[in-house]
Structure 1
Amino acid sequence: MNTQQLILMLKQQLAHIEQEALQHDNQLGDQQKKTLQHVERFNHSVFIQEGAQLSPCIVQLRKDIAQLEKQLTLNLAKSTIELSCLRIQDRFTALRRALLTTGLNLKSAEQKKASNRARYAKKQQQSVQDSGFGWIANNIMQNSHQLYQELNKHFAWANKIEFKIQQMESNLEVCHAADKITLQNDILLMHRRLGKCRQAISYIEERIQHFERPRQSLNR
């Protein structure tokens, strides 16, 4: 095979695989493109390309063939020509393999996303349980109406506790010395209850924002 036949054969192969790559890319749905958006399809030594679409690889292959044609015209060293041919062959092989394995890449990416979601959900659930407000998430976190009811309830509790603390602190000034330590401990306990109540209020307010955010996005 002479040099002209070699270049002609490579250009024919390129034209054929270009049609396959374009057809492949046109058949991809928006969700599939999004799923593979940051997935590396190739080793960087073969193609610098990531994501779902494969037609950008054709541009790199076309440059390689043009470079080889120039090298042959300049009659460069045999080792240089062989190296270019091997690079082109490796890229053709890698692109054909990528065309056949898009389905597997999609499945792998979806499984990875599902695993990450499950891990995040588990972490969030553990965080809720560790916060001491797991009973809120389990019992009343179904919709924003229930959340507002619970928020109002906690505000009422906080007001009652604050009023109780004020009463106890007033009594502390006039109570018998022997009773002061007990009353001080009771006041400290009430402050702790108030702190817990305020933490619950903050938590519920965050949950309300979580529920309301999708609505706000839809109303824009």
Structure 2
Amino acid sequence: MNTALQRLHNQIEHLAIQAQQFDNAKWFAKNRYIQSQPSLFDRTVFTTKSLQLIDYVNEIKSVVEHLPPAEKRHVYAFALRKVTTQIEAILKVLKSTSVWAKENKISYPKKKKVYRSAVKKIVQSSHDLYQELSQNHEFERRLVEMIELRKVQLNNATSAQSSALNQEILTLHGRLGRCRKAISATEEKIQFAEKQQNR
């Protein structure tokens, strides 16, 4: 598993702990309106129907564990956008904990505001940077294929064609070199984002 996705998994595990603590505190026990609802969230956000926050975190885990390959950019990006929406929905509930604590006269540790931005940043990093990395790898694959094709053509080429093909191969190698530099740069961005997250 790549490092950014591992980081996302770790953050979701932390979210699960928060959700379990929230459920254990029985925040919804005195709320008749919530108790009358079949689900805590809109069905467009979660397919889960439950009054337990942990059940929704488990749905997020399932989505992340079954993410499509990054090469399928549109489907991959859609799945990550869904994860972002789901995480933000749960964080909104957790952020409101202090309000319920006041209403129910129950003491509950105040969560740092940094938590929400941290999770959001990780999801965005995973989405944006890995999409960029996937695109660069796809360009790299295509360039390698084009170079190999030109080499095959070179074996059956005339002198005049050989000169043109050699020039094309050189140009493609130049593009391949720039593409690989871009891949390295994106990987460095991912590492930098993770270091920032660790601060």
TM over 0.5: no
Q: TM-score per shorter chain, which class?
A: 0.3 to 0.5
Report the TM-score when normalising by structure 1: 0.39
Q: Which has the higher contact order (CA 8 A, sep 6+)?
A: 2
Q: Which has the larger radius of gyration?
A: 1
